[in-house]
Structure 1
Amino acid sequence: MKKRWRVAALGICMAMLTCACSTQTEKADTSSTQQNGEKKETAEEKAEKAKQAKLDLIDPTAYGNVDGLELEKGTYLSIIGKGSSETYWKTIKAGAEDAVADLNKELGYEGSDKIKVVYSGPGKSDDVDEQVSILDEELDRYPAALAIAIVDSKSCEVQFDLATMNGIPLITFDSVGNYQGIMASVMTDNAKASTEVATHMVESLGDAGQVVVIAHDSKSLTSQERVNNFIAEIQNNHPNMSVAGPYYMDQIDDIKKTIAEQQLDIVPVEGQELDEEQQTALDDAIAQITDEDIYNYILEMNPDVKGIFATNGDTTMQALTACEGKDMKDVVIMGYDADQEEIDAMKDGRIAGMIVQNPYGMGYATVVAEARCVLNMGNEANVNTGYTWVTPDNIEDRTVQDILYAEK
């Protein structure tokens, strides 16, 4: 009998010990999910907070929500970008699609009743001809409203006239145009942003030295604003600094021709054509020149360069690659956008600073602007979607992480 009691007592003790250990484990688990009394965020909560951080950058704030936008069932909205494969454009697409999802949820639309948005863009960024073809196709679908990031400010005027004649409201985003019938422009304040880059460049270089400007294109007003305002700040306010360029990457054929002529010791004479042998040699040389060669040429033409300002993600990374290839790692590189390559390079300290735009908010606000046009609610002429200055020092901050681009 005593033996049975001892066994029972031992069992009770083991159970109490197990319970105590379980309690301690639960406490440890609870403490691991709490910090300063706050529960650990779920993935959904984190995503929602990041979404709201992007929408909070939009000014006016009315373009960061879908309140009061009672569109009819089945409304079709069209958005045409300057590209489709890059993270920046994919993020704009994600913002637009989320805005439409919020609209359908708010209005209770399901199935075929849902409002629809279609984002389209050239397979190769900044392809003027392909963008115009896409614009023609979308106008044939008679969308309730159409938004476009214009590659060439003069290329779409005929199509815009056609849209106006057919009562299709026009919105521009990312890149503005001069067309008089534009109802609203949704974009970054590029003048302010590029002036800020110039200010940071001046600080980094100690207000002295040469800066090279490399621009992704010469046609869009967006690129022109970035280039002109950066250069104006340097030239007007910093006499000990100089600017080389701008070098436009949509004019690479001209640059390739110059490189090939120098390689072949050909001195072009105005009004005089090359003989057949020279022209063949020149054409062959041009065909061998790569984009990498162009960036190397720019650096060779400016051996005293201290800083480089590039106007988009691709030019920023190309400039970085060229500098590293020539062991010019002390050159201060600043640019635009935040593709994963740029983010990684910044974390490594190889890029000094970036203007990170708000493409998600841009896509979202563009849908809101389109909806307001359809409903005759009126629009602000300019909707500022905001930007953030990002450096290796703040890139890990939560406020910065929330606005970095994310593909969907």
Structure 2
Amino acid sequence: MNKRWGILAAALCASLVFGGCQKESLNDGDTGETNTNKTDSKVNEKQSNLDVLQPLAYGNVNGLNLEPGTTLSIIGRGSSSAYWKEVEAGAKQAVADMNKALGYKGEDKVKLTYSAPGTENDVDDQVNILDEELARYPAAVGIAAVDSGACAVQFDLAAENNIPIVAFDSGVDYQDIAAMVDTNNLEAAATAARKLCDSIDDEGEIALFVHDSKSTSAKEREKGFLDEITQNHPNVKVVKVYHLDELEEMQKEIAGVPESGEQPDTEEPAEGADAPESEADSGSDITQEEVVKYILEKNPSIKGCYTTNEEAAKLAVEACESLEREDMKVISFDGGKDQLELLKEEKLEGLIVQNPYGIGYATVVACARAVLGQGNEAVVDAGYTWVTKDNMEDAPIARMMY
């Protein structure tokens, strides 16, 4: 019996494949909206993404008898990357499945509005979007918060109007959300730490490139990684943790601009000479790519990099290529097309692949359950898996790539 369970568990593990642009409101004919992109064809090929959701009830729309014409609002962190397109696709499929199950057509259809800020770190844009969506009085809102503490006023307003809030992908500080749909970022980050340490023989210096300093997902992916290093890898040293929203600070460091209150260690310009321009001195023309390159160049002993999303991974790989550091081991989160290509080219050591399609689908289910007063699990786990060049073509894993 134990052997049989071991085989079943191994098979199940093989299937656990997981873990912007301008604002858009994207719709689909089956969701009651106007976009003509259909998602019905994805039902079968994406079913495995839904089968690993925990609890399993969030992978189907059974018993979600919403009133005709109900509107749900989903607000992502962005909309241009492969990850966020998968979140959107999962959400739209859940609404399409709901309409099909309920037999709703025309104006009776449950409607979905998917919106997102222009870039993934634009807090103000996302808050404005949330204001606009609440002004339309949707039945429920799902949001992947850019800043975990930025929307408290809006959430209070939603509560006053009996609009439940479901957090997904990145949590919020607000206490009264209906549910949280997410990857177990602490556990996934610890896995990434172990894999990176294995790749550098559990010894040497490493750097972290984290997608921001404000979101819950970023904080957890940083904490889970650092905790694993501190507790179990005494010969590995983290020499730098850089957040991608700290560009201005690093620009000044590279340009040699002193911190506030300090005097620059420079000679006074000769009489008649032009004073240096403040904009040039600030380093404001230094790009994100140059910052990452500067960090690696300044620390030539770094053997490995941990990056927490697609953007960070690309920056690290580009910097390594520029510095001709083919020996650098780079590990990242997410599994979009560009990252898979880098994996094939052995420019990435491995990926923590999440389940954005499942996250989007489960978020809609959680919203519907909240509207119906059915109750929700506090946390819905979407899962993740470790993907390398050696296993990325395996059928169970390949079906989950995005």
- State the TM-score bracket (shorter-chain normalisation): 0.7 to 0.9
Structure-2 change in CA distance of 1:142 and 1:59 (3 Å) = same
SS in 2 for 1:182: coil
Deviation readout 1:121-154 (Å, 9 max, x if unpaired): 0111220010000000000000000010011111
Q: State which drifts further: 351-360 or 266-275.
A: 266-275
Q: CA deviation at 1:245?
A: 2.0
* Counterpart residue identity of residue 88, structure 1: Y
Per the alignment, residue 94 of structure 1 pairs with 89
Q: Is the aligned partner of 1:300 residue 2:297?
A: yes
Which one of 379, 382, 395 corresponds to residue 398 of structure 1?
395
Separation in 2, partners of 1:374, 1:365: 14
TM-score by length of 2: 0.86
Matched residue, 1:365: 362
Looking at structure 2, the residues matched to 330 and 167 of structure 1 have their Cα atoms a distance apart, in angstroms, of 55
Q: Which residue of 1 is the match for residue 211 of structure 2?
A: 216
> Residues of 1 paired with 2:320 and 2:76: CA distance?
31
2:265 pairs with 1:270: no
The secondary structure found in structure 2 opposite 1:288 is: coil
The alignment-based identity, stated in percent, is: 47
Q: Which has the higher helix share?
A: 1
Shift in CA distance, 51/71, structure 1 to aligned 2, threshold 3 Å? same
Which residue does the alignment assign to 1:50?
Answer: 45
Please tell me whether residue 226 in structure 1 is matched to residue 217 in structure 2: no
Please give the secondary structure, in 1, of the residue aligned with 2:373.
coil
Q: CA offset at residue 280 of structure 1?
A: 2.2
CA contact (8 A) 2:43 2:93 kept: no
CA offsets 1:246-291 (integer angstroms, 9 cap, x no match):
1011011000011011xxxx55572558999766245456132112
- Equivalents in 2 of 1:166, 1:309: separation in Å? 42
Using the alignment, how far apart are the partners of 1:74 and 1:350 within structure 2?
48
Q: CA deviation at 1:94?
A: 0.6
Residue in structure 2 matching 1:237, options 232, 251, 273: 232
CA distance in 1, matches of 2:261, 2:232: 38
How many corresponding residue pairs?
Answer: 358
Change (3 A) 1:48 1:75: closer
Provide the C-alpha distance between the structure 2 equivalents of 1:271 and 1:210, rounded to a whole number of angstroms.
Answer: 31
SS of the residue corresponding to residue 194 of structure 1 reads: helix
Report what 2:158 is aligned to. Answer: 163
Contact 2:297–2:323 under 8 Å retained in 1: no
Residue among 381, 385, 390 paired with 1:388: 385
CA contact (8 A) 1:91 1:360 kept: yes
Paired residue secondary structure (1:50): coil
Q: Is the 8 A contact 2:140 2:163 kept in 1?
A: yes
**3-state DSSP of counterpart to 2:213:** coil
Residue equivalent to 1:348: 345
Q: 1:269 to 1:179 in 2, by over 3 A?
A: closer
In structure 2, distance between residues paired with 1:279 and 1:60: 61
Q: Is the 8 A contact 2:40 2:93 kept in 1?
A: no
Of 136, 141, 144, 1:146 maps to 141
- The equivalent of 1:173 in structure 2 is 168
Query: Equivalences for 1:52-91 in 2 at 5 Å?
Result: 52-91=47-86
SS in 1 for 2:306: strand
| Distance in 1, Cα, partners of 2:142 & 2:259 | 44
Distance in 1, Cα, partners of 2:278 & 2:139: 54
| Matched residue type, 1:371 | A
- One-letter amino acid of the counterpart of residue 94, structure 2: A
Residue 385 of structure 2 aligns to a residue whose secondary structure is strand
Q: CA separation in 1, counterparts of 2:179 and 2:333?
A: 23
**Equivalent residue for 1:377?**
374
Structure 2 residue 247 is matched with structure 1 residue 252? yes
Question: Which whole-Å CA distance do the structure 1 matches of 2:262 and 2:317 have between them?
Answer: 39
Contact 1:57 1:387 in 2 (8 A): no
- Tell me which residue corresponds to 1:327: 324
SS of the equivalent of 2:246 reads: helix
Letter in 2 for 1:110: K
Look up the match of 1:9.
none
* Inter-CA distance 297–271: structure 2 relative to 1 (3 Å threshold): closer
**1:313–1:336 Cα contact (<8 Å) kept:** yes
What does residue 182 of structure 1 align with?
Answer: 177
Distance 2:285 2:127 in 1: 30
Q: How far, CA to CA, are the matches of 1:135 and 1:61 in structure 2?
A: 29
Computed over aligned residues only, the root mean square deviation of the Cα atoms, in angstroms, reads 1.9
CA distance in 1: counterparts of 2:142 and 2:275, whole angstroms: 48
Cα distance change on mapping 1:272 and 1:377 into 2, 3 Å = same
Gaps of 5+ in 2: 1-38
CA 1:233 to 1:278, structure 2 compared with 1: closer, same or farther past 3 Å? farther
Deviations 1:289-342 (A, max 9, x none): 112210111101211011100010100111011101111011110001112111
Structure 1: state its 5+ residue gaps: 1-43
Question: TM-score, normalised to structure 1's length?
Answer: 0.84
Instruction: Provide Cα deviations, 1:334-385, integer angstroms capped at 9, x if missing partner.
Output: 0011121111111122111111110100000000000000000000000001
- Is 1:131 matched with 2:122? no
Quote the residue 1:314 is aligned against. Answer: 311
In structure 2, distance between residues paired with 1:278 and 1:158: 46
| Partner residue, 1:6 | none
